[in-house]
Chain A
């Protein structure tokens, strides 16, 4: 199908975009790369009255490193992340994750800010933000506010963003020494929505985790930072300790069921990913006790 009629405003600056959003409120939708918004409009799942196009706000585009922080502008496209030497050096988890987002033609338009603001629970980038302990920077009529990724996502397609606010950038602490990362997802075909996936970031010292953040996606109404991973920090990870963590993960998660997978299948895949992740992060293939999917 085709999108129903709407009015269109091309924002000329961030402050102009905010003026438009204040004027139109929840009658407006922000258009960034459009790779989720346009399908939803073409399918008439949503029919906004006004589209505020922020595509020409070049000040929101780009990747920079300063004072231990990797800052990514909201309009930075997936393909820009994929090809960025700064991202590969300071947040390689993102480099791996972006390669799994849809297909090349989609990655050429889709943006990180758009993906986070859209908050599809099956998306890769929201989970990466949790794993990387990101800070989301939001501009609104009352100025700027900073929200930890863990507080940003509220539910399916739901975030703390109000209709008058604009997500402008993401800040990531650059990865420390001895850090390791792991990204994997299960999908029926390459580029399909994930059935379940894991984005993990860890610090490993002397064979033990000193930090372990495992964010699962496509498992609940928003990405989930596994509490079960905490039990593996600061201890020598034995097969018994890992089994206990896997069991705890199974209890912690309450996966949804849909036409792609049952709840128990998702739980099984999440445990499998946790075992694979821990084995990979520690460089201990002996711990990969999850079996095969």
Chain B
């Protein structure tokens, strides 16, 4: 099937089989391998991307369903500098080890901080409840999110 969509601000025209999910399309056809594939049934959150400004599981969406949509991946957020401070906080706080969950984690965190600039630790945990990390035990991730929220608030005032 022919599809046209926007990926990280660039127009993409492609042909896909109906069975190809958005995660595999991004990784295999567009070579955007920052979006990771973990469980492939919507549990782990490693494949989280933005579609029309909302975070979604790209393993639970067909590429053909993204026809006409605007998709942003971790490459887009990273290259634009939108999450540069968050990435630095993750590094400083040891909020990643193997890094497999990190792109999905950053997508979900940025989604929260855009909507709620000053979430408490409970809210952060709740928003990230659909993103699994097998290395850090989560505390360091929550620390990094809190640090970023505070420093962004400081910059605004």
Contacts and interface: CB of A to CB of B under 8 A. Distances in A.
Interface SS of chain A: loop
Interface SS of chain B: mixed
B21 interface: yes
Contacts of A51: 18, 62
Contacts of A53: 62, 64-65
Interface in A81-125: 102-106, 108-109
B56 A108 contact: yes
A106 B44 CA distance: 12
B34 interface: no
B19 A38 contact: no
A35 to B, nearest CB: 6
User: Interface size for chain B: under 10, 10 to 19, 20 to 34, or 35 or more residues?
Assistant: 20 to 34
B18 A106 contact: no
Interface string A276-289: 00000000000000
Contacts of B18: 5-8, 51
Contacts of B42: 35, 38-39, 102, 106
Contact of B61 (A1, A2, A38, A190): A38
A32 to B, nearest CB: 11
A42 interface: yes
B87 interface: no
Given A105-B48, A106-B42, A3 B19 contact: yes
B79 interface: no
A5 B41 contact: no
A5 B126 contact: no
B61 A34 contact: yes
Given A2-B21, A38-B21, A106 B57 contact: yes
Contact of A106 (B17, B21, B130): B130
Interface string B24-50: 100000000000000011100100100
Interface in B72-127: 108, 111-112, 125-127
19 contacts: A6-B18, A8-B62, A10-B67, A31-B65, A34-B65, A38-B60, A38-B62, A39-B41, A39-B42, A42-B60, A102-B42, A102-B130, A104-B55, A105-B48, A105-B130, A106-B57, A108-B55, A108-B56, A109-B56
Interface of B: 1, 17-19, 21, 24, 40-42, 45, 48, 54-57, 59-62, 64-65, 67, 108, 111-112, 125-127, 129-131
Given A38-B42, A42-B40, 18 more contacts: A2-B19, A2-B24, A5-B19, A8-B1, A8-B18, A10-B64, A34-B60, A35-B42, A35-B57, A51-B18, A51-B62, A53-B64, A53-B65, A79-B54, A105-B45, A106-B42, A108-B54, A190-B129
Interface of A: 1-8, 10, 31, 34-35, 38-39, 42-43, 51, 53, 55, 79, 102-106, 108-109, 189-191
